[in-house]
Amino acid sequence: MTNNNFEQALSFDDVMLIPRLSKINTRSNVDLSTSIAGIKLKIPIIAANMSSVCEQQMAMTLGELGGLGIIHRMCDVKDQMSMVISASDKQLPDYSVGFSIGIGSDWCDRMDACKNHADIVCLDVAHAHHQRVLDLLKKYFEIYQNYPIIIGQVATINAVKDILNVIPEKYYSSIAFKTSIGGGSLCTTRIKTGFGIPTLQAVMNIRKEFPKISIIADGGIRESGDIVKSLALGANAVMLGNLLAGTEESPGGIIKGNDGKLLKIYRGSSSYGDKSLRGEEVKNIEGEEMLVSYKGSVIRVVNGLLDGIRSGFSYGGAINIKELQDNIEFIQITTAGIKESQPHGIFNL
């Protein structure tokens, strides 16, 4: 055992941000623009590169809203390229499109097929602190140099250090790290393996050690308040899966349940269905799949989240992300505080 000193790790429900003097007259003036690996976004929301979350329609619509969609890789190279081309065939020239690669033998094929039609790539790995990832990144930066890349998943300072050690420093501005491990709503990694770090703690740890790199909080985000906490404590943006699943723009058809309720399929990464789509041998399952309620257009969902985020900034007296991060204070709350934070005293009419 290398370390028997247990350290406390904080998750979203464990933390509350302390309200500050606010001089914001209208929340609509809050500027949520950000930058990820040199890619500018008007809003800090990224659609997860999941087979049931982001294909061309999601990427286009979220791009038009000012965010970013990462088209998944759970298909062959030609199909992925077709989706990327469709998403980038746009009327608005100022939105960005992303796509995913893995560490399989086709990663270079996917890069060559998609890079000229997209703006950023996501290296989609469950555990990026791995020798195969380090070897791939050495080749990546030799070939593609400063093409923007999101590297994930990482959860520790050591993971980021080891990855940065194989990348020429001149390319650091074109890198973003996606954290954490096992925090997704359908992810079973922590249950099956016993490994993981809460998303918020991973963001705080990595931001403290690396103040200049881009960080994306990915996993465990359930409400707009979790997005505010992520941004306040160090993230440049958040990646959303569950919150965007079930929308009109997410892949898959609408299913009518026995009770007449409208539903759509939501698959976790490394779920049975996800691996089947990739044509992989179905083993080492670390994700679930489920039916979620149909939510209508993602425009309504995202605008609702943005209302909450801007409201959060007003409580922090911040007009932009930098002001929020520079001046924020937070406290850890007890189980009683968590309970008090939820709606209570409600009765059914």
Among candidate residues 54, 122, 187, 247, the one labeled active-site is: 187
Q: What is the largest CA-CA distance in the chain?
A: 65
Question: Is 189 tagged catalytic?
Answer: yes
Instruction: Return left, alpha or beta for 225; rule: phi > 0 is left, psi -120 to 50 is alpha, else beta.
Output: alpha
Question: Is 187 tagged catalytic?
Answer: yes
Strand partners, 266: 290
Q: Quick one: which of 219, 194, 193 has its CA closest to 284? A: 193
| Long-range Cβ pairs for the range 139-143 (8 Å, 24+) | 139/108, 140/111, 141/167, 141/168, 141/171, 143/108, 143/111
Are 98 and 178 in contact, with CB atoms under 8 Å apart?
no
Among candidate residues 34, 179, 189, 199, the one labeled active-site is: 189
Got the DSSP string for 301-338? Answer: HHHHHHHHHHHHHHHTT-SBHHHHHHH--EEE--HHHH
CA 86 to chain centre: 22
Are 245 and 266 in contact, with CB atoms under 8 Å apart?
yes
The DSSP output letter for 182 is S
Q: Which residues are catalytic?
A: 187, 189
